[in-house]
Amino acid sequence: MNFARFDELTAKHKPLLGQAVDANRERRFYAHWPEIPSGKIYGETANADGEQAFKAKLNVDFDRLSQTGDFTLMGEEESPYGFTLGIRYPVYHEETLVGNAVEAGGEWSRLLPIDRASVLVEALERASALFFEIAYATMHTTGQGFMMAFQASGPHSFDRALESIAMGYFAQTFFTSETAWSKPMGKTTVELKKRYRIVPKGVGLAVGCSTFPVWNTLPGVFASLVTGNPVIVKPHPKAVLPIALVVAHMQQTLADLGLNPNIIQLAADTLEHPLAAVLASKPAVKVIDYTGGSAFGVFLEKLGAEQGKVVLAEKAGVNPVILESASNLDAVLDNLAFSVSLYSGQMCTTPQNFFINSNGVMEGDTRIPFEEVVQRFAAKVDAIAANEKIGPSTFGAVQNPQTLDRVREAAQWNVKVVREGGTVAHPGFENARTATTAILQADSTQNMIFEREYFGPVVFVIPTQDYNESMALALHGVKEHGALTVSVYTTDGDQKLDAEDQFTQAGASLSVNFTGPIWVNQSAAFSDFHGTGANPAGSAAFADLSFVTSRFNVVGVREVVA
Amino acid sequence: MNFARFDELTAKHKPLLGQAVDANRERRFYAHWPEIPSGKIYGETANADGEQAFKAKLNVDFDRLSQTGDFTLMGEEESPYGFTLGIRYPVYHEETLVGNAVEAGGEWSRLLPIDRASVLVEALERASALFFEIAYATMHTTGQGFMMAFQASGPHSFDRALESIAMGYFAQTFFTSETAWSKPMGKTTVELKKRYRIVPKGVGLAVGCSTFPVWNTLPGVFASLVTGNPVIVKPHPKAVLPIALVVAHMQQTLADLGLNPNIIQLAADTLEHPLAAVLASKPAVKVIDYTGGSAFGVFLEKLGAEQGKVVLAEKAGVNPVILESASNLDAVLDNLAFSVSLYSGQMCTTPQNFFINSNGVMEGDTRIPFEEVVQRFAAKVDAIAANEKIGPSTFGAVQNPQTLDRVREAAQWNVKVVREGGTVAHPGFENARTATTAILQADSTQNMIFEREYFGPVVFVIPTQDYNESMALALHGVKEHGALTVSVYTTDGDQKLDAEDQFTQAGASLSVNFTGPIWVNQSAAFSDFHGTGANPAGSAAFADLSFVTSRFNVVGVREVVA
C-alpha cells in the first residue's frame, strides 16, 4: 500500500473532511460551496465564461473523456427550451466498461480511505470551476430554470458528494486498521497482531435520471468511490452533458494525480440501445445506485436480490400535504404555490395530493371555507405563471413530452378542474416546451386516481371530513406507494405530535408549517436526509450510515506474534 | 416518549456502554464476563447450583416464559451424552407470536436508544447468574464439552451480545436527535427546528442452530432489540433449553422494569411442524437472522429479497489451511490437531481442507516430507483422543446422528484414509454419541469431493505442487463456497503478504501461523469479526456497522420556527 502517496492532498483536505463529518453528525446548516451564482463569489466572468463554454460544446463531438477503449459516437439530447444540442458522446461496449472498471478498481481498492477521500475532495474542488457550464448544460437538458440548474447541479450536488465522502470516510475508519491484541490467560498472555482491511464490494453502477442528472447521481457515485469501488456512470441519454462534464473533469484530476482515469467512467447510451440493464447484470457489478421510475427500479432490486448485488434505489412516490390550520394562510398558500410551480412539478419531492378539511381551514379563529382555500391557492399559481419576471425561471421547461401526456390523462378522469394547466413564455426560446400547474379536485374515494405519481405539473386537492381522514388517506398513500416528502399544516400541538409520530413510523420525512423561503421540495445536504429507505419510494437515504456501510466489508487478519 | 423512565439504569450502564463502544473501535482485548468457570469468580456453589437447576428442569414442562397467549406443550430434546431431556415447551401459533411482537414493538420502538441499550445490558447482567445452568443445558443439547459449553453459551455469547448493543447504540446516536438549523439567506435567516427519529424495520426473527444455540443467536437478537425491533427467537427443536433459559430470564427482567415481556419471545417448534419459514413469511417480520445450512439460508435470502426483508445469514463454508513452512512444526501440528478435535469439528469455523506442499513443509532449513507431516498430524489427533483427561472434554459428543453418516460418506469416496475416526468414552455417559476426527487424503483434482462442507469430524489433507497451487485451490473454495476461517502457515514474508492480500480481497478472514492456546476456530468479541459478509458463507459479520445499520432507518422532521 502507498501509505505516503497522497500525504500532501491528505494534509490539505483533512480539515474539511473533519468539518463535513461533524456537520453530518450535528445536522446543522453547513455548505461548502456557495449556492448563489454570484460574480462576487465565483468571479465576474464566470457566468459568461460558463455559457460560452456550454455553447462551444454544441454540435461537436464530446472529446473530454480520458477513459480507454473503442467507442462509437452517438447523442440525442434536445433542450426543452427548443433546440437540439447536437452533441455526440463516445459510446463504449459494456465489456470495455466493466473490464476497465475491474482493472482500475484493483489499485483504487488498496488505497487508504483517507487517500481516497482526499483525492475525491480534490476532484470536487477542481470540478467546481465548471459550475456555470454545468448549470447551462443542466438547464438545456432538463428544462430547469437557470438558478435551479446552477444550485442543483453545482453547489448542492457537490455538497451531497462531500457528504457521501465524509460519511464513507468515517465509516471506513470507525474501526482501527490495526491493533496489538493481548489476552491474559492465567500465567501466560497470548499476543496477536491484528489488521483490518476495507474490502469494497466491486464495481459500482450509477444510473441517472433525466431531471436531476447530477444531483441524484453524485451521492451514490461518491459513496461507492470513497469506499473503494470503481464506478460506471450511466446517464439518461437525454441528459448526458451535465454529468459528462463532471466525469470528464474527475478523470482529468485522477490522471493528474497518477491514478487510473477509468476509476470513474461514463457509459453513454441511447434510448434504442440502453445499457443500464446490461451493465447491472454483469457479475462484476456489485453496487447499483438508481434514480427513476418504479418499474425499472423494481427490476433492478429483483436482479440485485438474485445475484447478491446491493441496490440503492430512489423510485416514485406520491407526496401528500395535509392542510388543517394555519396562523397565516396566505403565507402557507404562497409557499405551496411556489412548491408546486417550481420546475413544473418535475421533482420527486413535489407535493401532489392536498388533503384539505372540507369544513374549511382554520386561520386563527376564522374558518376559511374549502372552496376559498382552493381558489386562493389556484390564484397564487396564476400569479406566478403570469409574472414575467419570476414565472419562466420558476416553471422552467418540461423535460419529457410524455409529462404533458400525463397531465392531459389526469384531467380526463372524472375530476373537477380547478385550474387548467397553461404555458409560460421564455423570451429567446420561443419553442420552449412549458406547462404550468394543473389543479384537479378529486373525491376522497378516488384513491385509484390520486394514489399514482403524476410526475409533473399536476396536483390534486381532495376535500376530507376532518384531520383524521386526511391523515388516514395520506398515510395509506405513503405506506402503499411511498413518499419522498410529507407536509402538514396545523397549529394544533396534538395534531403536530400525532402527525410526527405516524409519518415517521410510516418511514416518511415530515415538514411542518413550511412558509417563507424554504420549500418542502428541497433537502439540505448534511442536515436533511433525502429519502429514508423506510417506505416504498426507495431503499436509499442521502446519506445515512447504511448508504455507505452497504458498499464495503471489513476483513480481519490476525497473526501470532513470533 | 419517556425521557426519564430509565434514568437510573442509564446512569448505571452508560460507562460500560462507553467502554464497549471504545473496545469495538479499538478492537483490543476486552471481555466483560470472565470466561473461566471458576468458583472464585462465580461463587463456590455456582457450578453445583447450576447443575442442580439443570437437572431439576429434566422431565418437567418448561414454565419460565412470561409471554402471553395459548400454547400446546411439546419437546424432543435428547442429550448427545445419551439420555432424553423430557422437557416440553409451550409452542405458540405463529399469529400469536407475531401479534404479540407487533404489539410489544410499539412501546419498545419509541424508547430512546440509550434506554433500550441500558435495559438490555441490565437483562444480560441479570441473566449471567444462569451461566452454569445454561452451560449444562448447552452440553446436553449440543454435545459440547462442559468448558466449551460454559464459555460459548455464557461469557462469550454475552460479550457478543454486549458488542451488538454497543454497536447499535453507537449507530443510533451517531446523528444528533435534534438540531436548530439556521440558514443565512442574504438579509434574512431561515430557522428550522429539526428532529430525527430512529425507526426500526419491524419484527425481528432469529433462527438458531443446534450446535451453538446461544452463541450464534444472541448477536442478531441484541442487534435487533437495541435498534427497536421486537424479536421472536426460533431455536432448533433439538437445542431449545439453553436459549429458552436466556429468553425467559430476559422476559422476567423486562417485566420487572415495567416493559412488555413479549418484546422477546420464544418460538419453540418441532421437527414435524417447523415454524421458521412460516414466521419468516409473515409481512410484519422484517429482519431475519439465521445460522444454519445453506439451502434454508438461500431460501430465506430469496424470500427476503422478494418481500423487502433484511436477511443476515451465516451459512456453510469450507475452511482451508495452507501449510507451507513453520519455525516449529510440532507447535503448528499441536495447534491444528486441537482445532480439528475441538467439539468433533462441529464448528462453522473448524478447518476442513489442509493444502500441504507435496514437496514437504520447511521447518527452518529442514524439509519435512509430506507423508511425515500428515502422520505426525494424525498422531497428534490420536494423542488427544487417547488422553482420558482431555480427550472426552475436547471432542465432546456429536449433536446430530447425521453427522456420523457424513463422515462415513466422506470415507467412501476414492480417498486414502490417513486416520479412521474413532470414539471417546465419557465416564458416566456410557451411551454418549462420540466421534474423533477422520483424516482423509484427497488428490488436488478431487475438488468435487473436498469443496463441500463436511460439518463434523472429518478433514482432508491435499498434497499440492507448491504454495501457488495451495493458494489457488484454497481461494477457489473460498470464492465458490465461502469460508468462515482461513489459516496460513508460512515463514516467508512475501507469501504472508500475498496470502493476506488475496484472502482479504476474496472476503475471508485470515489467521497466520497460529500456535499455542489460540485457535482459528475461535473469534473474540470486540476484536475479531465473525463472518465478513463478503463471501458465500454469509451476509452477516458479528458485529460491523452493517450488522446494526440495516435494522433501522433515520427519519427526519423539520418545522418552521414560528
Give me the mean pLDDT over the B346-375 stretch: 98
> Does residue A36 belong to any structural domain of this protein?
no
- Amino acid letter for position A551: R
- Sign, Cα dihedral of A332, B195, A343, A299: negative
| Residue B510 contacts A where some CB pair is shorter than 8 Å | yes
Best mutation target among B26, B546, B548, B551 (most A Cβ atoms within 10 Å) is: B546
Q: What is the ipTM of this complex?
A: 0.96
The answer on A406 and A298 residing in a single domain is no
Residue B69 DSSP SS3: coil
For cell 462531500, name the residue. Answer: A162
Report how far apart, in Å, the C-alpha atoms of A265 and of each of A69, A162, A257, A364 are.
11, 19, 17, 57
Please state the rounded mean pLDDT for residues A401-412.
90
User: Contact, B504 vs A197, CB < 8 A?
Assistant: yes
CA trace torsion B399, B404, B406, B411 (10° rounding): 150
pLDDT for B228:
98
Residue A160 has pLDDT above 80, yes or no: yes
Q: Which H or E run includes B439?
A: strand B438-441
Of A497, A512, A527, which marks where a domain is finished? A512
Q: Which chain A residues touch B180 with a CB distance below 8 Å?
A: 28
So what's the pLDDT on residue B5?
Answer: 76
Q: Does some domain include residue A82?
A: yes
The answer for A 27-46 residues in CB contact with B (under 8 A) is: 27-29
A403 φ/ψ sector (left φ>0, alpha ψ -120 to 50, else beta): alpha
Domain match, B51 and B29 both: yes
Amino acid at B279: L
Residue B560 touches chain A, beta carbons under 8 Å: yes
Query: CB B306 to CB A306 under 8 A?
Result: no
Chain B residues in contact with A196 (beta carbon < 8 A): 27, 529
Same domain for A373 and A282: no
Q: Is residue A412 part of a domain?
A: yes
Do B296 and B227 share a structural domain?
yes
Q: Do B430 and B462 share a structural domain?
A: yes
Using pLDDT thresholds of 50, 70 and 90, give the confidence band for residue A4. Answer: low
B215 with B341, same domain: the answer is: no
Could you list the residue range(s) of the whole structural domain that residue A280 is in? 7-28+43-315+540-560
Residue B558 CA to residue B191 CA, distance in Å, equals 10
A534 in contact with B, Cβ within 8 Å: yes
* Average pLDDT over every residue of A438-447: 96
Give the containing element (helix H, strand E) for B512: strand B510-512
Q: Which of A493, A512, A531 is the last residue of a domain?
A: A512
Residue A168: HSE in the Cβ half-sphere, 13 Å Cα cutoff: 36
- Tell me the whole-structure pTM to 2 decimals: 0.97
Interchain contact A302–B (C-beta under 8 A): yes
The amino acid that residue A275 corresponds to is L
pLDDT exceeds 50 at position A455? yes
**pLDDT score for A5:** 76
The answer on B345 and B391 residing in a single domain is yes
- Residues paired with residue B205 on neighbouring β-strands, in sequence order: B232, B288
* pLDDT tens figures, B418-474: 999 999 999 999 999 999 999 999 999 999 999 999 999 999 999 999 999 999 999
Amino acid making up residue A463: P
Final residue before a domain boundary, out of A512, A532, A552? A512
Asked if the structure places residue A532 within a domain, the reply is no
Nearest to B559 among A197, A301, A512 (CB): A512
Helix (H) or strand (E) holding B332: helix B329-341
Classify residue B534: in a domain, yes or no. no
Strand, coil or helix: what is B549?
helix
* A502 belongs to a structural domain: yes
Task: Calculate mean pLDDT across residues A56-76.
Answer: 98
Q: Inform me whether the C-beta atom of residue A428 falls under 8 Å from chain B C-beta atoms.
A: no
- CB distance from B555 to chain A under 8 Å? yes
Query: Torsions phi, psi of B511, nearest 5?
Result: -120, 130
3-state secondary structure of B145: coil
CATH number where B328 lies? 3.40.309.10
pLDDT by residue (tens digit) across B47-98?
A: 999 999 999 999 999 999 999 999 999 999 999 999 999 999 999 999 999 9
Considering the domain architecture, whether residues A65 and A80 belong to the same structural domain is answered as: yes
Facing residue for A174 by CB, picked from B176, B514, B545: B545
Partnered with residue A552 across adjacent β-strands are: A200
**What residues in B contact A562, CB-CB < 8 Å?**
327, 513
pLDDT of residue B306: 85
Q: What is the pLDDT of residues A93-121, one digit of tens each?
A: 999 999 999 999 999 999 999 999 999 99
B493 touches chain A (CB under 8 A): no
Q: Per-residue b/e over B529-562, b at no fewer than 16 CB within 10 Å?
A: bbbbbbbbbbbbbbbbbbbbbbbbbbbbbbbbee
Question: What is the arithmetic mean of pLDDT over B226-255?
Answer: 98
pLDDT value, residue B1: 44
Query: Are A301 and A358 members of one domain?
Result: no
A·B CB contacts under 8 A: 217
Residue A526 in any domain: the answer is no
In this predicted structure, the answer to whether residue A170 has a pLDDT above a threshold of 50 is: yes
Same domain, B382 and B455: yes
Cα–Cα distance between B436 and B447 in angstroms, integer? 24
C-alpha distances in Å from residue A129, one per residue of A46, A49, A158, B51, B420: 9, 11, 12, 74, 73
The answer, yes or no, to whether residue A51 has pLDDT greater than 80, is yes
Contacting residues of B for A503, CB less than 8 Å apart: 555, 557
pLDDT (tens digit, 9 = 90+) per residue, B92-118?
999 999 999 999 999 999 999 999 999
Instruction: Please give the share of chain A, as a percent, with pLDDT higher than 90.
Output: 96
Distance CA A49, CA A191 (A): 63
Looking at the 3D structure of chain A, how many domains does it have?
A: 2
> Does B414 score more than 50 pLDDT?
yes
What pLDDT, on a 0 to 100 scale, did the predictor assign at position A409?
Answer: 87
Residues B368, B302 share a domain: no
Contacts of A500 in chain B (CB under 8 A): 195, 197, 557
DSSP codes of every residue in A48-64: HHHHHHHHHHTTSB---
The beta-strand segments (E) located in A243-328 are 264-266, 285-291, 310-314, 320-323, 325-326
Which triple of cell numbers denotes residue A539? 431503499
What pLDDT is attached to residue B400? 96
Average pLDDT over residues A475-494: 97
In terms of domains, do A274 and A421 share one? no
What's the pLDDT tens digit per position in A127-139? 999 999 999 999 9
- Give me the CATH number covering residue B53: 3.40.605.10
Among B194, B518, B557, the residue with its CB nearest the CB of A527 is: B194
Which of A188, A545, A547, A552 should one mutate to test binding to chain B, selecting the residue with the greatest count of B CBs within 10 A?
A545
Does the pLDDT value for residue A2 go beyond 70? no
Query: In degrees rounded to 5, what are phi and psi of residue A348?
Result: -65, -15
Q: Which residue of A has its CA nearest to B557?
A: A510
Instruction: Give the model's pLDDT for residue A1.
Output: 44
Is residue B122 one of the residues assigned to a domain?
A: yes
Q: Which residue of A has its CA nearest to B328?
A: A562
Query: Is pLDDT of A561 > 90?
Result: no
Average pLDDT, chain B: 96
What average pLDDT is seen over chain A?
Answer: 96
CA nearest A505 in B: which residue? Answer: B199
